[in-house]
Structure formats: structure tokens, C-alpha cells
Structure 1
């Protein structure tokens, strides 16, 4: 069976028996798409200026998915919390391994800030391995909390020059916190 999706504008008439699901709720979008395809119906992708606003799917499917989402919400929230707790626990173990002498306050701030959910920070990416994420989160923490980096930027110094100016402080702090593997290249790039 061919999956059928058609792009339409927001002013295009709503097909009979269809309803709109705005973009942003991955669970509902995924299930609406899957069930619509399984039913052999068309998913209408609503776009404006090349931005997806949402999808139009059969009303009965959307109603079923809304009900299913409400029923499964507590279990999904619990699973997400467990997953997030595991991520932080793994990051904490890696942080303790790489930086055995990091002060407790700095350790807590690195975990809280660098691994904050939905922050877009390095600790949340899935593109690099955990040891690197921890290293980069620590470097960023040192840069912003233990150097004059932000003042340099505020004073008009370029990012590269500000990083070069604080590189020795970052390197020294990494060594003081017990890290022996940090290279100068990592400290200036991250």
C-alpha cells in the first residue's frame, strides 16, 4: 500500500470527515499518520511559507488518538521520567569518573544545566558519546562560571579570541578537577 500524503495550504478547504491536528505533539502526529495510512486514507500536510503547521486526518482517527493519548499519558510520563533519571544518573557517573575532584556545587550545576531537558545543550544531544558530552558540559560550565569569558564577549571580543584568552584557565581547572585526558584542542573547540 502506497502511503499518501498531500501538502495543502491553511486556506485549502477541509476534506469532508477530516479534522486538523496542529504540529507539536509527536505522539498524536505519529499515531494519526500511522492509522490514516493503515486505513488507506490521505494525510494532508498543512504548510504555510514552507513551514508545517499540522496535519489533516480523518476525524474518527483523530478522536481515537486523542482518547488513546489521554489513557496512556500517565504511563508515558512515567517512562519519560525514568529515561531522564537514567540519563542524569549515567552522566553523573561519567562526570565522577572524568572529574573526581570537581567541587560538589560545580558537579550539581553541570548536571542541572548541561543536561537540562529541552535545553538544546550539549548534554541532551544524541549525536556525540556520553564521555564527550560530559567533557563539553564541564568546559562550558568552567567557561561561564569560572572565567571572564562572558565579560569579554560583552566587551566586543570575538568568540574565538575570548576562548583563546580563557583557555589556560579552562585547562588548569580541568586538571585541578582531576581530568588528565583533556587536550587543548577540545578546550578551545567546545
Structure 2
């Protein structure tokens, strides 16, 4: 039986009847892997400088996955939009709960910026619960929009020193916006 997955370098010769799928499209990667495993064939994980850059899978499987991806694209986009809308709606409810006096303009900016899809920002992580993501997003917003934090960094001040310098303004703003845990939430 062939090994399920083998790590190779980009210089390793391409196996016969295999093709390369670049990392980045989760749908295609997941389906290519699953179908290759189901076919009892090996997935070759291509790694360069200890980073995965893609996979090599049988050409016929990759062709099938490309076709399925095209056929289901509209439905997947719709499902993603529904999930994103639900995520923003939940974040808005949590934001209103924790920061009941946040000005509307700031509320909209926190939701738009802190929860932007593919941004890598705290609002998009799955690693922490929403109840903690919201204050982190608000703290980042206050830090960058309502203090001189960025100017302090630009002047050469360390991140820790700049955060200490703006801490009082940050805590005061959080309390004004209705956060009763301003002191505890402002450490991130």
C-alpha cells in the first residue's frame, strides 16, 4: 500500500501522471487530498524552506476537483457570504453588549476593520471566543484611531513603551464606551 502523504522538495521529480496544486485554495486542497487518499494513492506535500507551497496529486483527480470547484463556486460564495453576515451580526451584538456607549461611527469601523475577512485580524481568528475578540478589536481601534500610538512607534519608541504611554487614554475611552472591564481588557 502506498504511503498516504510524503513530503518532497520542489526539485523532486514530478511523479508520472501527477500535477501540482499551489497552496491557497482550501476547497481544492481538501478535495484533492481526500480523493487521492480514497483512490489509495500518495499525496506529495511540496515543502520549500520548511514551508508548504502546495501538493502533488494525480492529474485526473486534480482535473475533477477543478471542474467541481467551478460548478460549485456560486453556491460556495453564497454560503460564505451568509456565514460572514452571521459573523458580523454576532460581533455587532457582542459589541453592543460590551460597549453600549460606543459612538456609531467607531462601532462601524470596529466591525468593518476588526472583523474583515482574510485580514488576519483578531476578529477573524477561530482561536479565541467572540466575547474576547470584541474587546481586542475595540482596543486595537482605540489604540490606532484615538491615541498617538502610531506616531510614538514611528518616532522609534518600542511597542511596550508606546502601549504604556497611551494606557490611560485607552482605559478612559473603554470606560466611556461602557466597558466595565477597561483595566483588564486593555492589556492586549
TM-score by length of 1: 0.92
Three-state SS of the structure 2 residue aligned to 1:57 is: strand
Query: What's the offset of the Cα at 1:33?
Result: 0.9
Aligned partners of 2:120 and 2:166: how far apart in 1? 24
Structure 1 residues 69-120: Cα deviation after superposition (integer angstroms, max 9, x where no partner):
1111111111111111111000111111111111111111111111111111
User: How far apart are the structure 2 equivalents of 1:50 and 1:127?
Assistant: 23
Ranges in structure 1 where 5+ consecutive residues have no aligned partner: none
- Residue in 1 aligned with 2:46? 46
- Asked if 1:73 corresponds to 2:73, the answer is yes
> Could you tell me whether the CA contact under 8 Å between 1:3 and 1:37 is conserved in 2?
no
CA deviations on 1:37-70 (whole Å, 9 max, x unpaired) are: 1111111222223222221111111111111111
Runs of 4+ in 1 over 3 A off after TM superposition: none
In the other structure, the counterpart of 1:27 is: 27
Contact 1:44 1:57 in 2 (8 A): yes
| Equivalent residue runs for 1:56-135 within 5 Å | 56-135=56-135
Task: Quote the offset at 1:148 in angstroms.
Answer: 1.2
For 1:181 and 1:28, how far apart are their aligned partners in 2? 43
Listed one character per residue, the Cα deviations across residues 123-157 of structure 1 (whole Å, up to 9, x for unaligned) are: 11111111211111111111111111111111222
Aligned to 1:120, what secondary structure does the other structure show? coil
CA drift at 1:3: 5.1
- Could you tell which deviates more after superposition, 15-24 or 128-137? 15-24
SS at match of 1:108: helix
Say how many residue pairs are matched: 188
Q: Is contact 1:36–1:58 with CA below 8 Å preserved after alignment?
A: yes
Shift in Å, 1:2: 7.2
Q: Which runs of 5+ in 2 are unaligned?
A: none
Root-mean-square deviation over aligned CA pairs: 1.5
Correspondence 1:163 to 2:163: yes
